[in-house]
């Protein structure tokens, strides 16, 4: 199935979930553990054969919860658990954010430059002010409109 997926004719079909799943399988995923351990030993020894390989985690990609796939790996490596936060875009009322309009404001001399505190850019804000604003706003999965 791998060579069919490389076909230029079937590339547009990769948007179809089932075609993508058929192409997503890797021939190394079904390698027996004994062979993987032998290659890992070669990698630790630093042989030429071992240098041509890399470590891949063998995880269940069919899990519906993507955030839970790597938790066991983090535990084994004694890493702090990481969380993925999803948040929506923040919209501002009566504030233009396009580069074209902001450039016009700077070029006409309405503001002193890109680092003017009246500019709605990261340069125009101090870091503590930006951090304080985002902490008071909080994360939201819904689009938020600020006045």
Beta bridge partners of 98: none
Segment 34-91, tens digit of pLDDT: 988 899 899 999 999 989 888 776 666 666 666 556 667 677 777 777 676 677 777 7
User: Which among 54, 76, 98 is the end of a domain?
Assistant: 76
Indicate if the pLDDT at residue 14 is higher than 50: no
Phi/psi class of residue 46: alpha, beta or left (left: φ > 0; alpha: ψ in -120 to 50)? left
Full domain range(s) for residue 58: 2-76
Segment 103-113, tens digit of pLDDT: 999 999 999 98
CATH of the domain at 119: 1.10.1160.10
Q: What's the whole-model pTM score? A: 0.35
User: Which among 31, 52, 76 is the end of a domain?
Assistant: 76
The verdict on 59 and 15 lying in the same domain is yes
User: Which among 76, 105, 137 is the end of a domain?
Assistant: 76
Q: How many domains would you assign to the chain?
A: 2
pLDDT in the model for residue 41: 92
What backbone phi and psi angles, to 5 degrees, belong to 146?
A: -100, 140
Within 89-138, residue ranges assigned H as helices are: 99-107, 127-137
The verdict on 68 and 94 lying in the same domain is no
């Amino acid at each position: 199935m791998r060579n069919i997926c490389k076909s230029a004719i079937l590339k547009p079909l990769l948007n179809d979930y089932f075609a993508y799943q058929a192409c997503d399988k890797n021939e190394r995923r079904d390698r027996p553990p004994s062979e993987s351990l032998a290659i890992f030993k070669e990698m630790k020894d630093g042989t030429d054969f071992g240098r041509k390989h890399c470590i891949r985690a063998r995880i269940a990609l069919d899990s519906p919860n993507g955030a839970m796939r790597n938790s066991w790996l983090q535990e084994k490596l004694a890493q702090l658990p990481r969380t993925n936060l999803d948040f929506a875009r923040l919209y501002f009322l009566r504030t233009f954010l396009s580069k074209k309009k902001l450039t016009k404001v700077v070029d006409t001399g309405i503001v002193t430059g890109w680092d003017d505190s009246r500019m709605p850019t990261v340069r125009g804000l101090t870091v503590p002010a930006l951090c304080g604003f985002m902490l008071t706003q909080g994360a939201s999965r819904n689009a938020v409109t600020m006045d």
